[in-house]
Amino acid sequence: MKLVIARAMMALAAHGLGGARRPWGMAMLAEFDAAADAGQPLRFAAGCLIAAIRELPRQEEGRFALASYALALGVMLPMASVQLGAALFGLPYLFPGAGDLPGALLEGSAHEGLIRSVYQAASPAIIMLLLTLAVGHFCIAWSMIERDWDRVRRLGTLELAGSVTLILFMAVLFLDSSRIAVQTAVLVVELATLRIIVERHAQLFPAAAPAEHPG
């Protein structure tokens, strides 16, 4: 068991040392057998992992990896959770008024009879759209951790299309346009951040950037 944990720590350390430091990750891995033979696999692996973590902010690639992890964990996953919550529990940012969906239907007001059927017809589509956007955010976060920037870009484009559709739905249906402003602001910040980080990746690793297709 100790050996399994130590090997997992070594794999993490070697994975953390990317780019110009990759040979050092390989060097640590190659040295692990000697440490394990001497009965110190955990101690050696813990040291290598600490060295890899300390090395991350010193390298351009490491700083980029830290920034992308922070974006994935600090922006994409929370956004996915908010959209999942909005779809499943009717969080207030989606619907106008204080009463979630019943509030949006303006229950008891003069408008209720006019708009209830429209909201009822539109709600399943909005909920499906929100669930799709939430899953999309989870996929973007996962692709960022996996460093698959081409997939991040493609998913970002799909998220943009889905979000614009949601905004159009909200603009058509809702009386309170401040909710549209919130959704639009979130979309703009998020996609701008994604674009910056994808472009930064292309600058740092030009060989890994997807080829431009003519036409």
Partner 1 sequence: MLAVLERLAAEPQQWRHGYDLMKETGLFSGTLYPLLMRMTDQGLVEAEWREPAQPGRPARHAYRLTTAGLALARDIAANAASDAGKAALT
Q: Does 60 bind partner 1 (CB under 8 A)?
A: no
Quick one: 55 or 100, whose CB is closer to partner 1? 55
CA 202 to mean position of chain CA atoms: 18
- Kindly write down the DSSP assignment for every residue of 122-175, as one continuous string: HHHHHHHHHHHHHHHHHHHHHHHHTT-HHHHHHHHHHHHHHHHHHHHHHHHH-S
Contact flag: residue 5 with partner 1 (CB under 8 A): no
Q: In whole angstroms, what is the distance from residue 128 CA to residue 26 CA?
A: 46
Q: By CB under 8 A, is residue 21 in contact with partner 1? A: yes
One residue of 26, 114, 128, 189 binding partner 1 per CB under 8 A: 26
Residues 39-58, mask of contacts with partner 1 (x by CB under 8 A) = ----xx-xxxxxx--xx---
Spatial separation of the C-alpha atoms in residues 153 and 90, rounded to whole Å:
29
CB nearer to partner 1: give 49 or 65: 49
Q: Is 16 in the site for partner 1 (CB under 8 A)?
A: no
d(CA 132, CA 130): 5
For partner 1, the binding residues (CB under 8 A) are 21, 23-24, 26-31, 33-35, 38, 43-44, 46-51, 54-55
